[in-house]
Amino acid sequence: MPMQDKSTQPKSWLDRYFKLSDHQTNIKTEVIAGVTTFLTMAYIIFVNPSILSEAGMDYGAVFVATCLAAAVGCLIMGLWANYPIALAPGMGLNAFFTYGVVLGMGYTWEAALGAVFLSGVTFFLLSIFRIREWIINSIPMTLRLGIAAGIGLFLAMVALKNAGIIVDNPATLVGVGDLSQPSALYALGGFFVITALSHLRVTGAVMIGILGVTVLAMILGHNEFGGVVSMPPSIAPTLMQMDVAGAFDLAMVSVIFAFLFVDLFDTSGTLVGVAHRGKLLDEDGKLPRLGRALMADSSASMAGAALGTSTTTSYVESTAGIAAGGRTGLTAVVVALLFLASLFFAPLAGSIPAYATAGALLYVASLMAGSLSHADWDDATEAAPVLIAALAMPLTFSIAEGIALGFVSYVAIKALSGRFKDLNAAVVILGVLFAVKLVFID
């Protein structure tokens, strides 16, 4: 009996829904890609609760919210936008949430969640009314580079502070801590291991580093083992606790804008970069279904705020799954299922000490700071705003203040230099508004 041609065989419903054959992939490849992506970004399960709990939020509830927000975002991206792009609470914005908005500005974490929700709603509306392209095209690349690098330096400051590597010094503002302390040694060791494993292209390098430091600390008696598997903790302490009314404060406008601005550009850059790597762009170099992808991201942010976590965004680690062959939303759905399975590993997450995640933070910071290499250092009117935006974030301990100073410096320097052609209405308006905010609004 002649063998039937595979091309004539009926396609499975998964093949039809995700258009696997059209993208020259199959279920096995998509599953492997999803597992690969999950392993590269699973560190957020441990890092996010560690950071947000310092804002006074319940650790267990944030752990559950992190897993659920990531799962929701991945499911929307996979089932609706059909892209192999995973989402989870974003690094940098979670640190800004805790150290900038709550501990720095004195707002409650409930109000901070309200600000995250409002930024998600704004992002969603911008996506629906197609205003996002105008905003993205209006902001100079110089400011985008400075902001990206500044978030990286801000994360580095948080990591070094949490590990006790840098400490407060009344004479010099900051100084080196006691590097003989276990927390500092573990953090530095974790950073070295993660960086080396990443260079060697080991899948899950960040998670391996975090778990490796945790296990070593347990063996040496510096950390307690809390178990591995249990039923998920209650999400009640954070579920629907966002205070939207509390976010309607004049001083919170810059915070909402910071959440929105960073998420908008981070997501747009990640989507285009990942799609380019996976050859998912059309003939004109544009991303099909961009609106759906951006709305998936903004919907995940709103859902995350309702659940009890900071801004949920697209992860550049999705490129790992792309490299493994992922081409459709089935990859993102696999990631979502793995995040849901992670709900039962709360005791393990609770066993991760802060110094174990500090090394991971420092590594992510080094990646983000790399955007400085793309700045035009030969043009002083371009280089100066980049440096001001990048340095202001860690030194003021605020992403919002860094963005504001970046815009103000860019407009002022370009105008005084007679480079009016480099300015546009959006940048000038934002620069003036930020100047007013910095001078007259606390």
Instruction: Give the pLDDT mean for 333-340.
Output: 97
The pLDDT mean for the chain works out to 89
Percentage of residues of the chain with pLDDT beyond 70: 96
CA 302 to chain centre: 15
Residue 199 has pLDDT above 80, yes or no: yes
Instruction: Give the pLDDT mean for 32-45.
Output: 92
Longest dimension (CA), the chain: 88
- State pLDDT tens for residues 413-428: 999 999 999 998 888 9
Of 28-37, 130-139, 168-177, 387-396, give the lowest mean pLDDT range.
130-139
For residues 9 and 172, the model is more confident at: 172
Residue keyed to tokens 């170099």? 285
pTM as predicted: 0.84
- State pLDDT tens for residues 47-87: 999 999 999 999 999 999 999 999 999 999 999 999 999 99
CA distances (Å), origin 97, targets 121, 150, 226, 399, 400:
17, 15, 27, 9, 11
| Nearest in space to 18 (alpha carbons), one of 327, 293, 271 | 327
Token duo for residue 83: 């892209």
Residue 8 has pLDDT above 60, yes or no: no
What per-residue string of b and e applies to 364-401 under the rule 16 or more CB within 10 Å gives b? bbbebbebbeebeeeeebbbbbbbbbbbbbbbbbbbbb
Of 128-137, 145-154, 240-249, 293-302, give the lowest mean pLDDT range.
128-137
Q: Residue 419's pLDDT is what?
A: 93
Of 247-251, 270-274, 387-391, give the lowest mean pLDDT range.
270-274
Residue 282 has pLDDT above 80, yes or no: no
| Nearest in space to 406 (alpha carbons), one of 386, 376, 425, 426 | 386
Of 22-26, 65-69, 97-101, give the lowest mean pLDDT range.
22-26
Q: Residue 231's pLDDT is what?
A: 94
Q: How confident is the model at residue 5 (pLDDT cuts 50, 70, 90)?
A: very low
Percentage of residues of the chain with pLDDT beyond 90: 52
Residue 438 has pLDDT above 70, yes or no: yes
CA separation for the pair 130, 203 (Å, rounded): 37
CA separation for the pair 49, 62 (Å, rounded): 5
Q: Is the dihedral of CA 393, 399, 404, 409 positive or negative?
A: positive
Q: How confident is the model at residue 317 (pLDDT cuts 50, 70, 90)?
A: confident
Q: Residue 28's pLDDT is what?
A: 92
